[in-house]
Amino acid sequence: MLKQKDERLIFRYDAEEVWIEAWGKDSVRIRATKCRTMPLEDWALSLPQAQKAELKLTEEGGELINGKIRVNISPAGKIRIANSGGKTLMEEFVRNRRDPTDPKCSALEVEAREFKPNIAGDYHLTARWESLDPEEKIYGMGQYQQRNLDLKGSDLELAHRNSQSSVPFALSSLGYGMLWNNPGIGRAVFGKNVMSFEAYSTKLLDYWVTAGDTPAELIRSYAAVTGTVPMMPEYGLGFWQCKLRYQTQEELLGVAREYHQRKIPLDLIVADFFHWPKQGEWKFDPTYWPDPKGMVDELKEMGIELMVSIWPTVDRESENYEEMLEKGYLIRTERGFRTGLNFQGATIHFDATSKEAGEYVWDKVKKNYYEIGIRTFWLDEAEPEYTVYDFDNYRYHLGTDLEVGNIYPAGYARAFYEGMKAEGQEKIVNLLRCAWAGSQRFGALVWSGDIASSFDCMRKQLSAGLNMGMAGIPWWTTDIGGFHGGDPNDPAFRELFVRWFEWGAYCPVMRLHGDREPRQEQAGTTGGASCRSGAPNEIWCYGEEAYEICKKYIGIRESMRDYVRGLMKEAHEYGSPVMRTLFYEFPADAKSWEREDEYMFGPDYLVAPVFEAGERSREVYLPEGALWVSTADQEAYEGGQTVRVRAELGVIPVFQRNALTHK
């Protein structure tokens, strides 16, 4: 049965009900369930856009037209999505004999929307679409530790882990973008024959599709319904200093004073984890941090902001555990001892899907940090990280981990964003290790997690950052130099560090971090002191040559402050990524869709990082439609060609765009 009601098409067959409705400019939302009523959670689509669409019913089925997108549903329930020109963008993969008029009618009996019952529970959902074009390219989907920028042919886990963020918005070269609007654990496969998405435990199918002529248009439509970042505060535009970890107040202040004395611009310094007495006690340990207010005031006098690390983990021995347990503010386990992470203590995470739990944590943070002048926070462990990723063993306020687990980092970011907003702060940025669709509107700056210190890993971060931008997360960064290991006295590591530092100047946020070798001596015996610190990680720790190069690139970043501020304004207003694939700026240039090891930093700078040890030159493709000027030697090149350029240590190939046909 097919009918029209309340500006939507509704299809029913047996126990299934399907809703098709306009949702934003040139966009549609499609939902289906076999439950008694349609679940009404909006998840990432929490900014509904009123939109009048053209709907009609005929003997051939139903049709909805909304600007550049049109959706047809057959009398048998098969859905096809096309653009305004009639080109098919998505078509459900279904093989059965219910509709003999369908040329793909078959005895295979494969459903496009398969609701397989979980015994005594909800459904294991699989949604399938035809792979319409073997040359299609897919981008976005968040952050995965792989070199591939084009995700066609990839099999992706829809789950968060340390250094992996599932942000399920896929952008296609065919001219559509699709959000899988389901926070459950699952899987996405972009096969050559079938594209499929799975949710292992859910009540409904829910996805959103937009059509457009360019990637930029698709991203803007997506941002309109999921939100944009706030305006980046001024201290987000320059250089950030961090290491694992400053063990005392005096150590951190000593580093800040050294930067100040050397007249090296420093916007922000970080007090990393275990500056607290125990996990779940969101405050400075007075043994090692005796005067936090005095520290914050001195830093501000030097023009330096302080960021502090927050973990969501709560130690059973902490002062807040019993109260949080009593009030239901902790994640529950389905079996076994209630613990999620056993790093430096048996801990369980606060439940970020509970508004009340988030408010409780924020109240502690407000009292102990915010009220002494700290305005930005490092929301670590945001996946959340588990010692064992048994997703079926955790239960949240909003449901089981399998049903809703991927929304955790968005809830974490939201709790702090709303707390800071209530205090009157407008420009809000907090550093998180993970994100889900919509996290951007809560001021989430995502970094790529605890990654290896290697050239191979550095290369993977470029793909990760570009795909995060295409998934609607414009604020993204890495640990310059990688996180795990690296001896500042090792010449090989110094080369990697310099190459990463060069690239860091052209990332959305320029942030130095890492756990360097050899480890420092432990500074004490109580509180968090048992978590030892890595070796010094300041720019003067890598030898004179590296030091001069680092100063140079901090200076370059400072010289671009106005430009970067403009990029942040565009991200705030339109959702535009700060790091952009070449084809984002040059969609008509076919070769721009093929290049995966260079990118645009905003509209005006093409950046080609050096990803190989010992490399002192590299090939760079310069897109058509612009004149490109090397920032290293001011040599000009016509677009539409590949050139080999100098890249000695201390020189990252960067070209400024003086467009002949600038957009």
Q: pLDDT digits over 105-125, tens only?
A: 899 999 999 999 998 789 999
Residue 490 CB burial class (10 angstroms; 0-12, 13-18, ≥19) = middle
Among candidate residues 198, 217, 272, 383, the one labeled active-site is: 383
Tell me whether residue 319 is one of the annotated catalytic residues. no
> Would you state the pLDDT for residue 660?
52
Helix (H, G, I), strand (E, B) or coil at 562: helix
> Would you state the pLDDT for residue 655?
98
> Would you state the pLDDT for residue 166?
98
> What domains can you pick out in the chain, each with its CATH number?
2-226 (2.60.40.1760), 234-574 (3.20.20.80), 581-659 (2.60.40.1180)
659 — pLDDT class (breaks 50, 70, 90): very low
Task: Tell which wins on pLDDT, 663 or 380.
Answer: 380
Q: What is the mean pLDDT of the chain?
A: 97
Q: What is the mean pLDDT of residues 155-178?
A: 98
Among candidate residues 91, 217, 351, 380, the one labeled active-site is: 380
Task: Tell which wins on pLDDT, 131 or 98.
Answer: 131
Tell me whether residue 390 is one of the annotated catalytic residues. no
Per-residue DSSP letters for 296-308?
HHHHHHTT-EEEE
Q: How many CA atoms does the CB half-sphere of 77 hold within 13 Å?
A: 22
Among candidate residues 63, 381, 450, 479, the one labeled active-site is: 450
Query: Any residues with CB less than 8 A from the CB of 19 and at least 6 apart, and which?
Result: 8, 9, 10, 29, 30, 31, 32, 38
Q: What is the mean pLDDT of residues 497-526?
A: 97
Q: pLDDT digits over 393-439, tens only?
A: 999 999 999 999 999 999 999 999 999 999 999 999 999 999 999 99
Q: What is d(CA 148, CA 196) in angstroms, rounded to the nearest whole number?
A: 19
Whether the pLDDT of residue 317 is over 60: the answer is yes
Residue 263 CB burial class (10 angstroms; 0-12, 13-18, ≥19) = exposed
Whether the pLDDT of residue 479 is over 90: the answer is yes
Whether the pLDDT of residue 663 is over 50: the answer is no
Tell me whether residue 285 is one of the annotated catalytic residues. no
> What are the φ/ψ torsions at residue 394 (nearest 5 degrees)?
-125, 140
Whole-angstrom CA distances from 635 to 256, 643, 648 are 38, 12, 16
> Would you state the pLDDT for residue 661?
44
Helix (H, G, I), strand (E, B) or coil at 199: strand
Q: pLDDT digits over 566-595, tens only?
A: 999 999 999 999 999 999 999 999 999 999
Q: How many CA atoms does the CB half-sphere of 299 hold within 13 Å?
A: 30
In 204-337, where does DSSP find H-type helix? 215-226, 249-261, 292-301, 321-327
630 — pLDDT class (breaks 50, 70, 90): very high
Helix (H, G, I), strand (E, B) or coil at 240: strand
Cut 0.95: pTM above it: yes
> Would you state the pLDDT for residue 165?
98
Q: What is d(CA 298, CA 317) in angstroms, rounded to the nearest whole number?
A: 33
CB 65 within 8 A of CB 151: no
Q: What is d(CA 270, CA 340) in angstroms, rounded to the nearest whole number?
A: 26
Q: What is d(CA 535, CA 488) in angstroms, rounded to the nearest whole number?
A: 8
Tokens of 359: 């408010």
Q: pLDDT digits over 218-264, tens only?
A: 999 999 999 999 999 999 999 999 999 999 999 999 999 999 999 99
- State what percent of residues in the chain have pLDDT above 70: 99
Residue 326 CB burial class (10 angstroms; 0-12, 13-18, ≥19) = exposed
Whether the pLDDT of residue 189 is over 70: the answer is yes
Whether the pLDDT of residue 175 is over 50: the answer is yes
Closest to 466 (Cα-Cα) out of 420, 503, 416, 501: 503
The secondary structure of 506-524, three-state, reads: CCCCEEECCEECCCCCCCC
Whole-angstrom CA distances from 427 to 173, 305, 370 are 34, 14, 15
